[in-house]
Amino acid sequence: MAKRENTPGALPIYQQVSELLTREIAAGRLLDGQRLPPERTMAAEHGVTVRTLRKALAELTARGLLDRRQGSGNYVRVNDDVRSIYSMFRLELSEGGGLPTARLLSLDAVDRRPADLPADFATTAGASRIRRLRLLNGIAVAVEEIWLDGRVGTLKTEDLSDSLYRTYRSKLGFWITRASDQVGLGKAPVWSPEGFDPRPGTTVGFVERLSWAQADAPVEFSRTWFDPVRARYVQRIS
């Protein structure tokens, strides 16, 4: 793998590796008791230094997902709570897993509430509209449109990170506590960028989500159109 780079808005490199491994465990691609490859081999595979890899493995060990045995190696431990920063991002590669990243397409302040937003998302103070291309392991798998209620604040381009929920917490002081998804089929939007293989109007997987913070009213509404050839929607119940 090419050297992993810490681009603006991305997680620290060691955390990218730990998140990727966490999602591999959650997807069942790394099994309970499985011995991981030697650290130098893993570091080369992930495009990081051995020191960075060890920092990632130490984080997994602290979370109870890895058993590091002196002189023997690193062994996967599966527990009932395999959570990650991206635990609410339900898309995985078709074969499972994949590290989520995002490419910002546009960020706009909208004064009037569009008529096609759900009645439950009753923003009265305008909204921020964010459009992004979503990738898993660098593969474009989805486009998304997120509406953030103006009552909870506004965002600037430089505020955004790969994880919007992380941004909400660090920049706006609230966090998403629950979400409701509706999954079906939809048509890829006209603004789909180059690099997202399904062309505008093509039937793709479609997810609508309402998200709540600490208050009773939802603060975010999103639409996600995903490529069913490259990705799948997964909801795990533990």
Domain contains 238: no
- Report whether pLDDT(236) > 90: no
Q: What is the pLDDT of residues 72-117, one digit of tens each?
A: 899 998 876 666 666 677 899 998 888 888 999 999 998 877 888 8
Q: Tell me what pLDDT residue 234 has.
A: 87
Domain contains 84: no
Q: What count of other Cβ atoms lies within 10 Å of the Cβ of residue 52?
A: 19
Q: What is the CATH number of the domain that holds 166?
A: 3.40.1410.10
Q: What is the CATH number of the domain that holds 42?
A: 1.10.10.10
Q: How many domains does the chain have?
A: 2
Mean pLDDT of 62-70: 88
Mean pLDDT of 174-197: 93
- Report whether pLDDT(63) > 90: no
Kind of pairing between the strands at 231-233 and 178-187: unpaired
Decide: 49 and 42 in contact? Cβ < 8 Å: no
Q: Which of 222, 113, 103, 209 is nearest to 157 (CA)?
A: 103
Mean pLDDT of 44-49: 89
Mean pLDDT of 173-191: 92
List of residues 6+ apart from 110 with CB closer than 8 A: 126, 127, 128, 129, 147
More confident residue, 58 or 8: 58
Q: Tell me: do 194 and 102 sit in the same domain.
A: yes
pLDDT band per the 50, 70, 90 thresholds, residue 7: low
Q: In this prediction, what percent of the chain has a pLDDT beyond 70?
A: 89
Q: Tell me: do 112 and 206 sit in the same domain.
A: yes
* 164 vs 85: CA distance, rounded Å: 10
Mean pLDDT of 67-73: 88
Q: Tell me: do 101 and 38 sit in the same domain.
A: no
Q: Tell me: do 206 and 229 sit in the same domain.
A: yes
Q: Tell me: do 106 and 70 sit in the same domain.
A: no
Q: Tell me: do 130 and 210 sit in the same domain.
A: yes
Q: Taking the mean position of all CA atoms in its chain, how far away is CA 167? A: 12
Mean pLDDT of 196-215: 94
Q: Tell me what pLDDT residue 230 has.
A: 96
Q: Give the helix ranges, DSSP H, for the chain.
A: 13-26, 39-46, 50-62, 164-167
pLDDT band per the 50, 70, 90 thresholds, residue 41: very high
Q: Tell me: do 137 and 202 sit in the same domain.
A: yes
Q: Which of 102, 87, 106, 185 is nearest to 136 (CA)?
A: 102
Domain contains 132: yes
Q: Tell me: do 18 and 59 sit in the same domain.
A: yes
Q: What is the pLDDT of residues 109-160, one digit of tens each?
A: 988 778 888 888 866 668 899 999 999 999 999 999 999 998 888 888 988 8
> Which residue range is the domain that position 150 belongs to?
91-233
Mean pLDDT of 54-58: 93
Q: Tell me: do 66 and 168 sit in the same domain.
A: no
Max avg pLDDT among 6-20, 109-123, 194-208: 194-208
Q: Tell me: do 63 and 119 sit in the same domain.
A: no
Q: Tell me: do 63 and 95 sit in the same domain.
A: no
Q: Tell me what pLDDT residue 153 has.
A: 85
The 10 Å CB-count burial string (b at 16+, else e) for 178-210 is eeeeeeeebebbeebeeebebeeeeebbbbebb
pTM: 0.75
Q: Tell me: do 100 and 178 sit in the same domain.
A: yes
